[in-house]
Amino acid sequence: MKKEQFDSRSGMIVYFLRGSKRYFGFALFFACMTSLLELLNPKIIGYTVDSVIDQQGSRLPAVVNALVEKAGGAAYFRTHLGVIALAVVCVALLAALCRFLFQLNNAKGAETLVERMRNSLFEHIIRLPSQWHSENHTGDIIQRCTSDVEQVKMFVAEMLTALFRITLLITLAVYFMVSIHPRLAMASCAFFVVIITYSIIFHRMIGSSFRKADEEEGRLSSIAQENLTGVRVVRAFGREAYERQRFEKQNNIYTDHWIYLMKLLGAFWTSGDLISWLQILTVLCYGSWLCVHGQLTAGDFIAFIAYNSMLTWPVRLLGRVIASLSRANIAIDRLRYIMNAETEQETGELTPDMHGDICFDHVSYQYENSSAGILHDVTFTVKAGSTVGILGATGSGKSTLMNLLDRLYVLPEDGGRITVGGVDINDIKSDWLRGNIGMVLQEPYLFSRTLSENIGIAGHVSDMKQIREAARIASLDESVSHFTEGYNTYVGERGVTLSGGQKQRTAIAQMLVRKPPIMVFDDSLSAVDAETDAKIRNALKKNVSGSTVILIAHRITTLMSADHIIVLDKGRIAEEGTHDELIEKNGIYRKIYDLQVSQGELGEAAI
């Protein structure tokens, strides 16, 4: 999907309308038919009053008058008024049928439009880079994909389709009114100009207010989403009152914006009502005067009033369409922000064997919103099938290295190279690269599904034998045996029903069921005790031979049996070697080792 497709609002709307155009096309056709049929009855009534009842000359068009004369003319209808009544009923029924078909097709088009918008937005969002997600609040994204989508749907389905119907209705009604009495038509249309003019003025006034209200709603949604997701943390720290006040404060700001906006809209709608009633009053008074002075027949006056009544609501609705355009424009712009965001660029096409050496060659990296680099000229090699440990303080760049390896972060051109089996990761297809790298994070994300579904989700595995084997290696199987529902236990949103250690072990099993050639454990054993840590590492040695394992941890016992250990300090490699070699160097690693020994963190768990 190219960015230039959405350089304009109309371009994005046309894109979203694919698949629903035919429904809206039928809707417009039946809307026009409804308008034409509604305009027909006043003519029939006017002819009946003037030509049939009052026996004046016919003012019908020549073609229509010829058809009427063939049917028997005014004399026939004078004795058969039931035929005219039947014609009026038939026209009304046809108009009702066309209105039903209009509503049906319009509804189908609207729901098809919403479906495509949601699918397109979701597909685009999941392909956006990690940095974009870190810069945008989840609550605001959800608000854009719900409220703003509904606003665009409402404008397209209700306002935009109505615009064509209104335009046709106004054009024909004004034509018929002018044909009846030009001066009376001019008096009526003068008010239409006023309504449209002040609608345009209000359109400009309320545009910024709608944008501000949408932004405040996004902030409110973000607060709600954060608190609902982290409700246990909020309650654990006794912050309910603080978070309630924070929510209420934002809710008041949002409410105040909408109250101000409703005042503007109230003034707009009230003005429309006042001008519309003044228009009706003017037509009644002036039309009555023309009838009294013989310049307008009773039948024409009745027809004129009918046409004027038909125009009153459409003209006011036209003003609301113009006003609604303000909010629709804001909603479209907010959706364009998402759709115009650059997705991850697929730079590679290769699918090489991922069992080769992993080389970090003079890797440097700096976050866009940071003035200082996070990694500085980092160079090391992870031998195929070996286990490498990475140790370092918080912020030393450990996780950044792994995110670069998985291409969740994009390595700049002057930031060095990362290769797997001699192939630059930028030349490898991203799906292939990530499919062969299993990552277990310190804070794993579990879905609102059963335990077995969460374990098998990454590898699309449903075979319970494979799931149990992965759980056994991750030392999870014994814990699951104590659950009433076993592997059918529903873990809840973000794994809320599991302990921190159980969630980490579930994530490890989730990765193991895929059996990737490269396994990354990013401090993913921090929530388990030292004994369980040792059991998991022993099970990994026995069951994942041939895979390259990268262990990131703060606990020495997790790393000490690794084939090679790298110590990072402020984004640079401070030390590297085996456990024994690093102990002898008496550097950072030795200090951390001694500290953990003094705190009793090693003990019998050390291997």
Mean pLDDT within 137-158: 84
- When comparing pLDDT for 345 and 153, which is higher? 153
Among 238-247, 309-318, 332-341, 547-556, the minimum mean pLDDT is found in 309-318
Contacts of 606 (CB under 8 A, 6+ apart): 556, 557, 560
Whether residue 353 sits in one domain with residue 324: no
In a domain, 32, yes or no: yes
> SS3 of 61, please?
coil
Whether residue 271 sits in one domain with residue 219: yes
Whether residue 207 sits in one domain with residue 161: yes
Backbone φ, ψ for residue 18 (5° rounding): -60, 125
Does 362 have pLDDT greater than 70? yes
In a domain, 542, yes or no: no
Reported as a single tens digit per residue, the pLDDT across 175-204 is: 878 888 888 888 888 877 777 777 777 766
Domain end, chosen from 339, 370, 389, is at 339
Whether residue 92 sits in one domain with residue 156: yes
CATH number at residue 243: 1.20.1560.10
Judge whether 30 and 101 are in contact, CB under 8 Å. Answer: yes
Whether residue 426 sits in one domain with residue 326: no
What's the total number of domains in the chain? 2
Q: What is the pLDDT of residue 417?
A: 93
The bridge status of strand 417-420 relative to strand 358-365 is antiparallel
In a domain, 45, yes or no: yes
Whether residue 215 sits in one domain with residue 330: yes
> SS3 of 573, please?
strand
Identify the H or E element spanning 199: helix 182-229
CATH number at residue 365: 3.40.50.300
Residue 7 CB-half CA count within 13 A: 3
What pTM did the predictor assign? 0.68
Whether residue 291 sits in one domain with residue 153: yes
Does 217 have pLDDT greater than 50? yes
In a domain, 87, yes or no: yes
Residue 124's nearest CA partner among 226, 208, 2 is: 2
In a domain, 422, yes or no: yes
Whether residue 290 sits in one domain with residue 211: yes
Q: How many residues does the chain have?
A: 607
Residue 596 neighbours by CB distance under 10 Å: 17
Reported as a single tens digit per residue, the pLDDT across 369-415 is: 666 778 999 999 999 989 999 998 888 888 889 889 988 888 888 88
Q: What is the pLDDT of residue 2?
A: 43
Whether residue 178 sits in one domain with residue 105: yes
Does 358 have pLDDT greater than 90? yes
| Rounded Cα distance, 428 and 439, in Å | 18
Does 1 have pLDDT greater than 60? no
Helices (H) and strands (E) in the chain, counts: 23, 10
Task: Retrieve residue 505's tokens.
Answer: 């072990």
In a domain, 544, yes or no: no
H-assigned helices in 293-426 = 298-339, 398-405
Residue 216's nearest CA partner among 243, 265, 242, 252 is: 252
- When comparing pLDDT for 555 and 5, which is higher? 555
Q: What is the pLDDT of residue 378?
A: 92
Whether residue 316 sits in one domain with residue 417: no
Reported as a single tens digit per residue, the pLDDT across 273-312 is: 788 788 888 888 888 888 888 888 877 777 788 777 777 6
Domain end, chosen from 339, 373, 394, is at 339
The bridge status of strand 387-392 relative to strand 564-569 is parallel
Does 322 have pLDDT greater than 90? no
In a domain, 13, yes or no: yes
Q: What is the pLDDT of residue 496?
A: 65
If pLDDT is split at 50, 70 and 90, which confidence band does 113 have?
A: very high
Domain range for 82: 3-339
For the chain, the distance separating the N- and C-terminal CA atoms, rounded to the nearest angstrom, is 52
Residue 550's nearest CA partner among 589, 511, 582 is: 511
In a domain, 479, yes or no: no
Whether residue 363 sits in one domain with residue 257: no
Q: What is the pLDDT of residue 3?
A: 45
Mean pLDDT within 246-270: 85
Reported as a single tens digit per residue, the pLDDT across 496-513 is: 677 777 888 888 888 888
Whether residue 10 sits in one domain with residue 69: yes
Task: Retrieve residue 87's tokens.
Answer: 């014609």
Domain end, chosen from 339, 362, 387, is at 339
